[in-house]
Chains A and B, each alone.
Chain A
Amino acid sequence: MITERDVEYVAWLARLELSAEEKERFTRQLGQVLEHAEKIKSLSTEEVEPTSHVIPLRNVMREDVVEAGLSQEEALRNAPRREGGYFAVPRIL
């Protein structure tokens, strides 16, 4: 059963700040969904390979030729903060 501590830990992993009310609500709601998902544990799958993709996956390569991409101006156009041609962020350490 998922606990409020689990929810706090997962929220930290997902970089989500949650209010006290959200922690309480998500603990309850995630518990319900996970209880439903428990169903899949009853299937015996020892011999079964996992599927991550339905189409035969292979590395898709293209010719190594120069193509036009986004300009620096275009790439930065939607940035919440920019500085001298860069994305600006708060201090990291």
Chain B
Amino acid sequence: MEDLYAKKAWELIAMLRGREVSAREVLQSVLRRIEEVEGDVHSYITLTEGEAEQAASRADEALAGGRDPGTAAGVPLAVKDVLCTRGVPTTCGSRMLEGFVPVYDATVIGRLREAGMTMMGKANMDEFAMGSSTENSAFGPTRNPWDLDRVPGGSSGGSAASVAAGEAIWALGSDTGGSIRQPASFCGLVGLKPTYGLVSRYGLVAFASSLDQVGPIARDVRDCALLLSLIAGYDPRDSTSLQVKVADYLEALEGDIRGLRVGVPGELMQEGLTPGVRANVENALRLFAELGAEVEETTLPHLDYALSAYYILAPAEASSNLARYDGVRYGLRVEGEDMLEMYGRTRAAGFGAEVKRRIMLGTYALSAGYYEAYYGQAQKVRTLILGDFRRAFERFDVLVSPTSPTPAFALGEKVEDPLAMYLSDVCTIPVNLAGIPAVSIPCGLEDGLPVGLQIMGKALGEAELLRVARVMEEALGFRERPRVARGEA
């Protein structure tokens, strides 16, 4: 029998309900796997075995008593360490929050607790979700289970690596410019960034508030749909939460894609794609056509400006959001003679290089004399990008591109070159600026490393997006497993 740690959540849920396995057996399998590979992969900042064992026991008791243990019960979940978990340290990958123990749960965590969640631990990440490789974690990098010399992507790299390596069955990430989709792509998984406002941001430590969304990373589209259905929906505690009825994402998976209008933005297929990424995406486009979709090249001319606009807007919002780390109410404090000295020293010691760079960039873009030329102009470019997407979705049901121009790159390759690192988000960033949903699914390999296909949908079009992703997943038939997960490493 295939090891339990390698199964999909929906398979385990069926097995648990059929009493074929117990939640404790599933947990033991995952814990043994963690013992085997965590030293190499380093997916987690904090492991929560004790809590997980209690949750698994509760699930088994409920099942034995013929009661519903909750949909998520008994299926170990990795939680990106940017989500507040009551009583469990939440570091955001930063020295600034080392030792911080939230006194409340993020809304998504509260919802998953009600659904019987078995939390396996808090997953590693780029500090304050700023980065594309998970090398910016103050607690050391995570390695890609497909090749330990490569990055897992970021910033939700620990979440993706844990699922790929079998150290969790599914995971929560957050995505401000691609931080769910790019690591899902690098690790051969399915990752979805929901429509802005569909999933509550309450208790998600803020990076860029107009762009941040929480979403699922999983082994297939069905697990992704299931996890999304457990976290989506209106939350009065988030003033940007949308008051909409949440669709039945599992039911939505049924159906085909005949007659689906697929647009391929030329701006996202330009230079910079590796040959393998291009070939795999073109193969996926042929499959779309074979399945009865109408595939057409199109143009969203302002996407060429998206990266530049994003690297003004996101750091500007970050510089404001991260002003809260002042050594007073929580987190690190380095004492000084007076308040200002204490602030300066605390922030110098608490933040890593990338976070400092973004705070500086954002502060500069917002400062007197530069505000209109940078921040104001970037906000206007955002309007133009929104307009491009609005027009595109009048003609197309979904838009398709690579998730990332390259497969996973080597550790250390881009650490000293921030701009090169930023360019790895070129295909994912426009989606956050427009607030629309997008999913990354694996579509092939290049030199043994997974390539991701990004499918973008209309705002609140998650149901259709997931159906398209499910149909394509089946057609692509991607069955590869990373070598760590096969235990050959």
Which residues does A use to contact B, with CB under 8 Å? 2, 6-7, 9-11, 13-18, 22, 26, 29-30, 32-34, 36-41, 43, 45, 48-55, 57, 60, 62, 70, 74-75, 77-81, 87, 89-93
Contact status A87-B329, CB under 8 Å? yes
Contact status B103-A16, CB under 8 Å? no
Option from A36, A38, A87 in Cβ contact (under 8 Å) with B419: A36
CA A30 to CA B307, docked complex, whole Å: 15
Total CB contacts across the A-B interface at under 8 A: 167
The interface residues of chain A lying within 8 Å CB-to-CB of B338 are 90-93
Question: Top 9 closest A-B pairs, CB basis?
Answer: A54-B435, A50-B379, A78-B330, A80-B333, A17-B348, A45-B380, A17-B344, A60-B239, A15-B343
Q: Do A14 and B363 form a contact, CB below 8 Å, given A53-B240, A74-B103?
A: yes
Binds A, one of B286-294, B369-377, B441-449: B369-377
Pairs A–B under 8 Å by Cβ, sample size 14: A7-B360, A18-B356, A34-B361, A38-B308, A41-B377, A45-B377, A50-B379, A55-B435, A77-B103, A78-B103, A80-B332, A81-B333, A89-B328, A90-B336
Q: Do A70 and B103 form a contact, CB below 8 Å, given A36-B311, A40-B381, A79-B330?
A: yes
CA A33 to CA B338, docked complex, whole Å: 34
Contact status B356-A16, CB under 8 Å? yes
Binds A, one of B3-11, B137-145, B382-390: B382-390
Report if B70 contacts A (CB, 8 A).
Answer: no
Q: Do A70 and B104 form a contact, CB below 8 Å, given A41-B373, A45-B381?
A: yes
Report if B199 contacts A (CB, 8 A).
Answer: no
Contact status A16-B333, CB under 8 Å? no
CA A92 to CA B242, docked complex, whole Å: 42
Q: How far is the CB of B342 from chain A (nearest CB, A)?
A: 5
Contact status B364-A16, CB under 8 Å? no
Contact status A33-B196, CB under 8 Å? no
Q: How far is the CB of B80 from chain A (nearest CB, A)?
A: 20
The interface residues of chain B lying within 8 Å CB-to-CB of A36 are 307-308, 311, 419, 422
CA A60 to CA B197, docked complex, whole Å: 13
Contact status B363-A13, CB under 8 Å? yes
CA A84 to CA B384, docked complex, whole Å: 53
Q: How far is the CB of B318 from chain A (nearest CB, A)?
A: 11
Contact status A16-B359, CB under 8 Å? yes
The interface residues of chain B lying within 8 Å CB-to-CB of A51 are 379-380, 382-383, 386
Contact status B308-A45, CB under 8 Å? no
If A13-B367, A50-B376, A70-B103 are given as contacts, then 12 extra A-B residue pairs at C-beta distance below 8 Å, sorted by A number, are: A14-B319, A15-B343, A16-B356, A30-B360, A32-B418, A34-B361, A36-B308, A37-B311, A39-B305, A54-B210, A89-B328, A91-B339
